[in-house]
A and B are shown apart, each in its own frame.
Chain A
């Protein structure tokens, strides 16, 4: 079955309607791109999928493999929502350790490997407070991929990245698809969409249209 299925989703905030009767299906092993204007509801869509927001009406169905009983949020999902979240006083590695300890499926080695794969040096003593915007973005990417999730939801993953890192991340996402995993990402960049996405959705007039 589909990994994620949206049925008749309606969501509005204090009068402004973002989605009306939205239907969409995301299948395994594909890369989906989502485009839309600023404030069109891309981040809200991701939050809906993760269960961080409940829709006014309609249902979000997640493949039961990722949604065992008494879970509210899906399992084995790697996500970036809106903006990176971190403990500013700690180093990047310590931040990731704290997160990894929750599920306790990976150890230090995996964290280091993941950091290197997006171009972060694991052993810098710098606190995240002093990271540049791009470094914070890479930290967010690392936490999303480090536990080798089956589904990736990446909200503007290419933000603030330099050219080399963009290339790195593109390759990473492509390799995910080759392993049969699912990736959904948003971006403002046409090139990202053209290069990576198997399917593209556009948010327009409160609905989600598949354009490619």
Chain B
């Protein structure tokens, strides 16, 4: 299904109108910027225009959000029908599907926004850093003056802003969908949408400082997030929490409507896995940090330290392996089901092996960032339990590299786990027995040791936060290495899947 929905990501005529409108507004903003720069007598560069546009409250709250809320209401009502529910089997899958549709709606909107911001910046000097104008603190230039003061490069601000808005909009969509599921009356969903619209309007005008998580504008404008949350990454937590609540809500609804029996074996291993993950985080706080937390990412850093170029500590490497290789093992348990004669009946229904493959692997791949996000959130939450560090901060020099810690954890983490999954798939499928996948995991466990992987060219444990000490250059190299492996493995997997001889290996 994923397949078809994402392919339906098309541009409608009204997108053109929106693009035109955005362009005009962009030109208006550009003109104002020109005035400011003239007044302050400092030069501009492209980021001034792009980020001013992306952080513009009027554009977001009067144009973007209402369009989104309205189209969400329409889309939810169109896709909600009893036959659709029957086909999908549960409210939860309906919610997922609806969210996928929302994603397909969101991407063109974000693109229009980004494109009009970039295009209207044409002619301004290219740069990767902040311009002189934006770094001047001046009432005329509050927003950029403030944002540029956080030591984050403009490209990252752009990415964070888009991520934040995107996630928030998806979250609002899920809230509306849940409202519709609970009430299933047309009036209610429109009323809810209107309420959300006015709430965000008010929130743009005046801050709610006492409860930053109730202040909607904090989740639309990065400069508002910077004031409300430190570090700014924390702003994602409430959004993720609301999404989690929505999922829990539909699960509850499912429970109420049909008592689906709990499938113990599956949930038992998952439960054990989650328990172990939590145990490791608590351990990191209690024993490695002795309950003293300097920066919010301390717990994360210690828990996922894994190996470093100098060597490894048994406990930390064990935890790292249990979390990441353990995930691949859970995948192997699922893969095992497909390695049997059942694959004939499954593949026939999917229509082609590649379609089977994409529907099999994509949900798993999508869970990887979710897993990392959950671990990140968990580490932050557990970090809250710790007191401030006594001797200044043992990990003080790390604070400089916090951005890199997050980079290593999320980007290289995702790539690394994808590598694990693909290795397990390729080996398991070629051999036809799941034990081969387990041996592959054993080899990866050994290959992750710094003594074996001293050149860091084997795709094992490269997402260890212990490698952050090697500097950004090395982390980027690791990204390159992992990307090459991922691509090669993906290619291999596709070759296997495309060849009937290998795909029905031994089962033919």
Contact = CB atoms under 8 A, between A and B. Distances in A.
A and B touch in the complex (CB under 8 A): yes
A18 to B, nearest CB: 12
Given A72-B352, A99-B345, A101-B89, A51 B500 contact: yes
**By CB atoms of chain B within 10 A, which of A50, A53, A73, A107 has the most?**
A73
Given A86-B342, A89-B265, A79 B87 contact: no
A102 interface: yes
A71 B345 contact: no
A85 B352 contact: no
Contacts of A81: 341, 344-345
Contacts of A83: 341
B352 A97 contact: no
A168 B17 CA distance: 63
Contacts of B351: 70-73, 75
Nearest to A102: B349
Interface in B1-55: 1
Contact of A82 (B86, B263, B341, B348): B341
A124 to B, nearest CB: 13
Q: How large is the interface on B (under 10, 10 to 19, 20 to 34, 35 or more residues)?
A: 20 to 34
B508 A53 contact: yes
Interface string B191-225: 00000000000000000000000000000000000
A85 B345 contact: yes
A50 B346 CA distance: 13
A101 B90 CA distance: 11
Label chain B's interface by main secondary structure.
helix
Interface in A20-55: 47, 50-54
Contact of B341 (A75, A85, A89, A103): A85
Given A102-B349, A102-B350, A107 B341 contact: no
Contacts of A73: 347-348, 350-352
Contacts, number: 72
Contacts of B345: 79, 81, 85, 99, 143
A167 interface: no
Nearest to B88: A104
A89 B341 CA distance: 15
Nearest to A90: B263
Nearest to B356: A102
B353 interface: yes
B504 A53 contact: yes
B344 A77 contact: no
Interface string B234-266: 000000000000000000000000000001010
B346 A71 contact: no
B337 interface: yes
Interface string A104-126: 11011000000000000000000
A104 B87 contact: yes
B340 interface: yes
A138 B344 CA distance: 17
Contacts of A133: none
A89 B340 CA distance: 13
Contacts of A102: 346, 349-350
A99 B504 contact: no
Given A79-B348, A85-B340, A104-B87, A72 B353 contact: yes
A81 B353 CA distance: 17
Contacts of B263: 89-90
Contacts of A205: none
A210 to B, nearest CB: 27
A71 B352 contact: yes
Contacts of A86: 342
Given A52-B508, A70-B352, A105 B342 contact: no
Nearest to B1: A104
**By CB atoms of chain B within 10 A, which of A50, A71, A84, A107 has the most?**
A107
A47 B508 contact: yes
Contact of B86 (A77, A84, A107, A143): A107
Which 8 A/B pairs are nearest by Cβ-Cβ distance? A85-B342, A85-B341, A72-B352, A107-B86, A104-B87, A102-B349, A71-B351, A73-B348
Interface of A: 47, 50-54, 70-75, 77, 79, 81-87, 89-90, 97, 99, 101-105, 107-108, 143
Interface of B: 1, 86-89, 263, 265, 337, 340-354, 500-501, 504, 508
Given A85-B340, A90-B263, 5 more contacts: A50-B344, A52-B504, A52-B508, A89-B265, A99-B346
21 contacts: A47-B508, A50-B348, A53-B504, A70-B352, A72-B351, A72-B352, A73-B347, A73-B350, A73-B351, A77-B348, A79-B344, A82-B341, A83-B341, A85-B344, A90-B263, A97-B89, A99-B346, A102-B349, A103-B349, A104-B88, A105-B87
